[in-house]
Amino acid sequence: MRNPFGGRPPAVHRIVVGLGNPGDGYAATRHNVGFQVAARLARRARIEFGTKAAESRIAEGALGGVKFAVARPQTFMNDSGRAVAKLLDRYRLGPEALLVISDDIDLPLGRIRLRESGGSGTHNGMRSIVGHVGEAFARLRLGVGPVDLKVEIGDLAEYVLSPFAVDERTLLDEMLQRATEASEVALRDGVRMAMDRFNGG
């Protein structure tokens, strides 16, 4: 248990942050696939989100001998960086210990893309994190765009806050499973190993 009077924080090697918006109304939306992968990863490690700290819901455990925390920020998406900065401070880790999982409108549904670092692109949550902690963290992007990228999306905010269609759910489930596996490999064997294995699919 954490010492209520201070001292060393809980020891973890890595932090996995799944991005999303808190609240049941957002749970099934495209913007919340990061939350969904975080939940699956926690189940795989048989841990629960029992800690409320750093403006996040946190579960702590281990996979493959690697101690990690998986967090779902309770700030809204556009302010994710505030929670991530607090998580790094809580565990006394640098951005290189992070893996951030987010949706990506520029990837078709079913595709995932893992990178060791990079910019924020058009994602407001990633932009907030980069603004708070810089670009030197790994990120796993999950495609939520139309399978046919020639399809016009219309209003971007409305699209990412909409739920998946019934005929998209099989592909969604396969993507979430693949992203959970990629997250575990990144934790256990390193991001580059996970990139080699999962970026080609």
Among all residues, which ones are annotated catalytic? Answer: 31
Looking at residue 63, its amino acid is L
Name the 3-class secondary structure at 72. strand
54-61 long-range contacts, CB within 8 A, separation 24+: 54/83, 54/86, 54/87, 54/89, 54/90, 55/82, 55/83, 55/86, 56/17, 56/83, 56/86, 56/87, 58/87, 60/10, 60/12
Sheet holding 56-63, edge to edge: 51-53, 56-63, 66-73, 14-18, 98-108, 138-145, 112-115
